[in-house]
């Protein structure tokens, strides 16, 4: 061990005479094994040394002593040469020649396989994994697994996974969890039937109809393999504005927060107003209407219709009822509107002026209606056509369209069943689908093939 001795007392003259003249300096001394201190004698001599001592050069200030202690002292007392590596003052080990050789061979192995950098979490081919397994098995005769994996920059858990048979090009489950040909056929058929649908909607549609239980990522891979994928367009991120404190909390059940807003609809060259009210928990559109103008009467009628649909007027006194979030339009801010909403047991909360994020969920739903229905029409020929088309679009949105904020479930399902129960049903269905896939591939593969996977 190489340590400075500026805090140690000076040694006697006999210690000077015993030091090697070839190693001594003007202001430095080197102690031999015979003069080892009590602390040095407690250190056990290191066995099984595989390399030569690494030469160390140190520059010290005048008046300080340097001593070779520890390994050299112990080896001198035992009469054996010291070639076991050297430790620095802080106690950190200096790598020996054998360790350098092991690390070099690991780097050469990775380079021969075309690998560079850490292997943590990386997807390797079957040939690469087999080659690494062979290399690790050969190196385990001299070194522990943890040391070999640290040189290769991989986790030991990956080695054990590969050993038990996770060497399939598919990935998890030993290759027995890959989708069946029938499942892939259903995905491709639905993608061709609805070319405008993306991978998320296809995955949720198949899951809802109990046909295929796979994630949207796998659906995207299948669509890409068959040339059915859509080009990815990255849009610039929008600046985020913090909403009010009340809106920082997620509603934990339905009928806690409602949002209300309106937009324009082109009907025979004139503008009508589409008024929408939805529940923030399930994103379900509770009530809607189309008018030539928006006044306090239309706003109160919209809220009253939603209260009647949910049966809130039949609840006993003291029950928690929704807070209606709206912007600062004249119809919303009217005294008549606030008074009639409070009579029904609800409260009206007006978001900040010029702050669309205060009513963000309502704005998002209206944006979906505009993008998928209203903006696709140059104009509606008459009011009846506008009401019919928008009614069908809202019905599809509530019943069939998967909502990302709901975890892919339609608003109606979340509103009546609950997001947690639907998530648990999905987990159980996917577990059953995984068991069916395992049984399918176990029957397809022969016993000899199963041992290789």
Residue bearing tokens 């008074």 = 339
pLDDT at 122: 82
Degrees, nearest 5: CA angle 305-311-312: 90
Lowest mean pLDDT among 157-166, 302-311, 407-416: 157-166
pLDDT at 57: 39
The average pLDDT across 183-199 equals: 94
| Banded pLDDT at 234 (limits 50, 70, 90) | confident
| Banded pLDDT at 245 (limits 50, 70, 90) | low
Share of the chain above pLDDT 90, in %: 46
Lowest mean pLDDT among 51-55, 235-239, 256-260: 51-55
Is the per-residue pLDDT at 427 higher than 80?
A: yes
pLDDT at 317: 81
Pairing state between β 66-68 and 2-4: antiparallel
Burial 238-251 (b: 16+ CB within 10 A, else e): eeeeebeeebeeeb
pLDDT at 448: 56
Question: In the structure encoding, which two tokens stand for residue 257, read together?
Answer: 């927060």
| Banded pLDDT at 86 (limits 50, 70, 90) | very low
Secondary structure in 3-state letters for the chain: CEEECCCCCCCCHHHHHHCCCCCCCCCCCCCCHHHCCHHHHHCCCCCCCCCCCCCCCCCCCCCCCEEECCHHHHHHHHCCCCCCCCECCCCCECCCHHHHHHHHHHHHHHHHCCCCCCCCCCCCCHHHHHHHHHHHHHHCCCCCHHHHHHHHCCCHHHHHHHHCCCCCCCCHHHHCCCCCHHHHHHHHHHHHHCCCCCHHHHHHHHHHCCCCCCCHHHHHHHHHHCCCCCCCCCCCCCCCCCCCHHHHCCCCCCCCEEEEEEEEEEECCEEEEEEEEEECCCCCEEEEEEECCCCHHHHHHHHHHHHHHHCHHHCCCCCCCCEEEECCCHHHHCHHHHHHHHHCCCEEEECCCCCHHHHHHHHHHHHHHHHHHHCCCCCECCHHHHHHHHHHHHHHHHHCCCCHHHCCCCHHHHHHCCHHHHHHHHHHHHHHHHHHHHHHHHHHCCHHHHHHC
pLDDT at 422: 94
Distances in Å between the alpha carbon of 309 and those of 98, 287, 314, 446, 449?
78, 8, 11, 59, 60
Is the per-residue pLDDT at 162 higher than 50?
A: yes
HSE at residue 430, side-chain half, CA atoms within 13 A, is 13
Phi, psi for 165 (deg, rounded to 5):
120, 5
What contacts 384, CB < 8 A, 6 or more positions away?
none
What contacts 148, CB < 8 A, 6 or more positions away?
102, 106, 136, 139, 140
How does pLDDT run across 338-358, given as a tens digit for each residue? 999 999 999 998 887 766 678
Is the per-residue pLDDT at 123 higher than 70?
A: yes
Is the per-residue pLDDT at 383 higher than 90?
A: yes
Distances in Å between the alpha carbon of 428 and those of 259, 379, 434?
33, 46, 10
Pairing state between β 323-326 and 257-267: parallel
What contacts 116, CB < 8 A, 6 or more positions away?
110
pLDDT at 164: 76
The average pLDDT across 418-422 equals: 93
Q: How far is CA 363 from the centre of its chain?
A: 27
Higher pLDDT, 445 or 375: 375
Q: Rounded CA gap, 255 and 246, in Å?
A: 15
Is the per-residue pLDDT at 228 higher than 80?
A: yes
Polymer length in residues for the chain: 453
Distances in Å between the alpha carbon of 385 and those of 12, 266, 285, 327?
109, 11, 20, 29
Angle between helical axes of 126-139 and 145-152 (0-180°, round to 10): 140
Question: In the structure encoding, which two tokens stand for residue 172, read together?
Answer: 């998890």
Phi, psi for 325 (deg, rounded to 5):
-100, 125
Is the per-residue pLDDT at 60 higher than 50?
A: no
Angle between helical axes of 360-369 and 383-399 (0-180°, round to 10): 120
């Amino acid at each position: 061990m190489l340590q400075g001795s500026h805090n140690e007392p000076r040694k006697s003259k006999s210690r000077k005479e015993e030091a090697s003249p070839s190693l001594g300096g003007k202001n430095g001394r080197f102690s031999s094994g015979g003069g080892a201190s009590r602390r040095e004698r407690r250190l056990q001599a290191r066995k099984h040394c595989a390399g030569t001592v690494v030469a160390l050069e140190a520059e010290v200030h005048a008046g300080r002593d340097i001593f070779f202690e520890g390994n050299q002292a112990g080896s001198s007392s035992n009469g054996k040469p010291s070639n076991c590596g050297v430790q620095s003052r802080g106690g950190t080990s200096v790598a020996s020649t054998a360790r350098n050789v092991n690390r070099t061979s690991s780097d050469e192995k990775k380079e021969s396989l075309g690998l560079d950098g850490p292997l943590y979490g990386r997807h390797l081919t079957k040939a690469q994994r087999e080659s690494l397994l062979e290399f690790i098995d050969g190196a385990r005769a001299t070194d522990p697994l943890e040391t070999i994996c640290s040189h290769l920059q991989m986790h030991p858990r990956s080695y054990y996974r590969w050993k038990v048979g996770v060497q399939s090009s598919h990935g998890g489950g030993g290759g027995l969890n890959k989708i069946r040909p029938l499942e892939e056929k259903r995905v491709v058929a639905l993608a061709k039937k609805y070319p405008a649908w993306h991978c998320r909607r296809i995955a949720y549609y198949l899951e809802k109809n109990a046909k295929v239980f796979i994630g949207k990522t796998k659906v995207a891979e299948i669509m890409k393999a068959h040339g059915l994928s859509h080009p990815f367009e990255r849009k610039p991120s929008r600046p985020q504005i913090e909403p009010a404190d009340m809106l920082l909390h997620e509603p934990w059940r339905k009928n806690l927060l409602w949002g209300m807003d309106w937009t324009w609809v082109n009907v025979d060259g004139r503008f009508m107003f589409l008024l929408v009210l939805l529940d923030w928990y399930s994103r379900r559109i509770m009530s809607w209407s189309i008018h030539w103008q928006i006044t306090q009467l239309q706003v109160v009628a919209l809220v009253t219709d939603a209260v009647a649909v949910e049966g809130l007027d039949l609840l006993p006194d003291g029950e928690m009822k929704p807070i209606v979030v709206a912007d600062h339009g004249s119809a919303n801010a009217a005294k008549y509107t606030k008074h009639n909403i409070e009579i029904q047991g609800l409260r009206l909360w007006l978001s900040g002026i010029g702050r669309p994020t205060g009513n963000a969920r309502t704005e998002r739903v209206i944006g979906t209606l505009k993008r998928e229905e209203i903006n696709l029409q140059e104009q509606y020929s008459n009011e009846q056509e506008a009401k019919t088309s928008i009614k069908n679009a809202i019905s599809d949105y509530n019943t069939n369209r998967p909502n990302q904020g709901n975890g892919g479930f339609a608003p109606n399902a979340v509103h009546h069943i609950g997001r947690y129960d639907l998530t648990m049903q999905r987990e159980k269905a996917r577990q059953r689908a995984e068991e069916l896939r395992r049984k399918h591939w176990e029957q397809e593969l022969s016993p000899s093939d199963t041992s290789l996977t």
